[in-house]
Amino acid sequence: MTKKIALLLFLGLSMSCTKNDDKPSENHAYLDQLLGRYELRAAYLENPIDLNGDGIAGTDLFQEIEYCNMSKHLESYDCTIIKRNIQEIAFDIPYSNNFNNYQEYSNCLRDKDVGRQINIDSQNESVTLVPNEFEENFMLTYQAKLIDFTWENRIVYLTLEKEFYTPNGEWATVILHMEYEWVSSAT
C-alpha cells in the first residue's frame, strides 16, 4: 500500500513539474521591436478634400489641417504600445472641433487620445486588435472608426474611417491613413 502511495506521489510531482516546462517563453527580440512610443510621420487621405479652406483639395493631412487654439500639432501626435497587466495601443486622432453644448462645429481640428486593447503573441510575432464595443463606440464620438491596424518593422499603420467638418459647412467622410514610427522603448 505504501509503495502505491509513494508511486502516486512521485507521478503527481513529476507531472506538475512538466506542466511548467511546456509554457513557451516570450520572444523578447520581437517585444523589444514592438513595445514603446511612436510618433506620427504620415497622415494622408485616400481622396482629396479641402479642409483648410484654401480652395485646393489635398490628401496630405499635414498640409490640409487648420489647428484650433491650444490643439496639438500633428508633429506631436504619438502612439504607445504596452504589455503590462493589459496589452494596449493608445494613439492620437484628429477630430473636428465642436463648441460643446451648442453642437456647432468648425473646420479646425483638435486631438484625442484613444486606446484599443490588443493581443500580442510574441511567439508567432503577431499583434491583433481585440474587439471591444465600448472602445469602438468611444471612437465614434470623435467621428472615427478604426478599420485596420497593422504593425511592421517598427511602424504602426492605422486606417480610419473619419468624418471631418469642411469650411463649406458640410461633413466629409474620408479614409484616413496614419503611420506612426517607433522612437523609444520608454512608455
Q: What is the pLDDT of residues 26-84, one digit of tens each?
A: 899 999 999 999 999 999 999 999 998 899 999 999 999 888 777 889 999 999 999 98
CA angle, 97 then 44 then 181, to 5°:
100
The CA–CA distances, whole Å, from 11 to 18, 81, 119, 143 equal 11, 43, 36, 60
173 contacts: CB under 8 Å, gap ≥ 6: 161, 162, 163
Q: What is the pTM of this model?
A: 0.83
Higher-scoring residue by pLDDT: 90, 97: 90
Which amino acid is located at 82 in the chain? I
β partners of residue 109:
67, 96
pLDDT for the residue numbered 117: 95
How many Å apart are CA 63 and CA 58, to the nearest integer?
8
